Amino acid sequence: MSRRPYQPVMAKFWYLKHASYRLYMIRELSSVFIGIWTLNLLVGLGKLIQGPDTWTQWLALQTHSLMILFSIVTLALALYHSITWFKAVPQVMRIQIGTSFVPASLLTNLHIGAMVGLSAIVLTATFWGI
């Protein structure tokens, strides 16, 4: 009788077999891009503290076409990450009113609407310098 536990063989690219696995991996990969972008922002804050010359150099780096492309890709991945997160809300937050539950689509749409609304407020305040 063997005492070794069963260890299934996992294919190297297991996540390429099904679309849901690929979307899951994209969602997880998005956190890496968001983390790098956040570190870039923290470096920018450090450059701002160091003085106007280093701040200007950091700003010049941000206008490079690769940095702009990186920011656009990161924004797209952050939106995808947020929307998939909001789609998970009805599975963990079931609101019961009487004998029925609030529809999942309503919960998801309310969260996405709140994100869009708050983003609009922040962008408006930034644009008008409030």
Is residue 3 domain-resident?
no
Is residue 8 domain-resident?
no
Q: pLDDT for 60-93, tens place per residue?
A: 999 999 999 999 999 999 999 999 999 988 888 8
Is residue 35 domain-resident?
yes
Q: pLDDT for 7-60, tens place per residue?
A: 888 888 888 889 988 999 999 999 999 999 999 999 999 999 999 999 999 999
Is residue 5 domain-resident?
no
Is residue 7 domain-resident?
no
Q: pLDDT for 88-111, tens place per residue?
A: 888 888 888 889 998 999 999 999
Q: How far apart are CA 43 and CA 62, in angstroms?
A: 12
Phi-psi domain of 9 (left: phi exceeds 0; alpha: psi -120 through 50; beta: other): beta
CATH of residue 30's domain is: 1.20.1300.10
- Tokens 């490079």 — which residue? 64
Residue 2's pLDDT band (cuts 50, 70, 90) = low
The range of the structural domain enclosing residue 114 comes to 17-128
Q: Which of 19, 44, 120, 30 lies closest to 76, judged by CA?
A: 30
- The domain tally of the chain equals 1
